[in-house]
C-alpha cells in the first residue's frame, strides 16, 4: 500500500512574492524612463517642425510685403499698417490659429534691430515654459 503525503503548503512564499514585485518594479522603472525619453524627443521634433513651418510663413510674408511681421498675428490676420496690408496676400499659416509648441505654449517672436545676426527671434521656451533657462529654448536658428 502506497501512501502519498500531500504538501500542506499551497501558493508562494513571501520571499517569492517579494522577488516578483521587485522584478516588476525594475521593469516598470526601466520602461517608464524609456517612454519619458521618447515622449520628450517626440515633443522636441514636433516643436522643431512647427518652428520651421512658421519660419517659412515669415519668409513668405517678407517676400510679399518686403518687411517682417511685427507680431505673429500678422501672419494670420491682415496687418493694420496700410502699406503692408495692401501687399498682404492671405493668411500665411495653414491653420488660422496662433502656432504653439508641443507643450501647448505659444511661440515667442521678436523683431531684432537692424544689423543683428538674425532679423528676428523665433523660439519655444521648451518644456518648462516661460522663464526657463536659455539652454532649454528651442530656437528656429538652432534647430537639430
* pLDDT tens per residue across span 109-142: 999 998 889 999 999 998 888 888 888 899 999 8
Nine-digit cell at 88? Answer: 498682404
pLDDT surpasses 60 at 1: no
How much is the average pLDDT of 75-99? 85
* pLDDT tens per residue across span 16-66: 888 989 999 888 888 777 788 888 889 999 999 999 999 999 999 999 999
* pLDDT tens per residue across span 66-83: 999 999 999 988 888 888
d(C-alpha 31, C-alpha 15), whole Å = 24
The whole-number pLDDT of residue 118 equals: 93
pTM over cut 0.85: no
Q: Tell me the three-class secondary structure of 86-140, residue by residue.
A: CCCCCCCCCCCCCCECCCCCECEEEECCCCCCCCEEEEECCCCCCCCCHHHCEEH
Domains of the chain, earliest start first: 45-142 (3.30.700.10)
Amino acid at each position: 500500500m502506497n501512501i502519498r503525503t500531500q504538501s500542506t503548503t499551497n501558493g508562494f512564499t513571501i520571499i517569492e512574492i517579494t522577488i516578483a514585485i521587485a522584478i516588476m518594479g525594475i521593469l516598470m522603472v526601466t520602461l517608464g524612463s524609456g517612454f519619458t525619453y521618447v515622449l520628450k524627443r517626440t515633443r522636441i521634433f514636433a516643436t522643431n517642425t512647427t518652428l520651421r513651418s512658421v519660419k517659412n510663413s515669415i519668409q513668405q510674408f517678407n517676400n510679399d510685403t518686403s518687411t517682417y511681421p511685427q507680431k505673429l498675428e500678422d501672419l494670420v490676420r491682415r496687418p493694420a499698417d496700410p502699406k503692408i496690408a495692401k501687399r498682404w496676400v492671405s493668411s500665411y499659416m495653414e491653420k488660422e490659429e496662433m502656432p504653439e509648441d508641443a507643450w501647448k505654449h505659444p511661440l515667442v517672436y521678436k523683431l531684432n534691430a537692424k544689423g543683428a545676426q538674425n532679423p528676428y527671434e523665433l523660439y519655444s521656451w521648451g518644456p518648462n515654459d516661460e522663464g526657463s533657462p536659455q539652454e532649454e529654448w528651442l530656437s528656429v536658428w538652432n534647430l537639430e
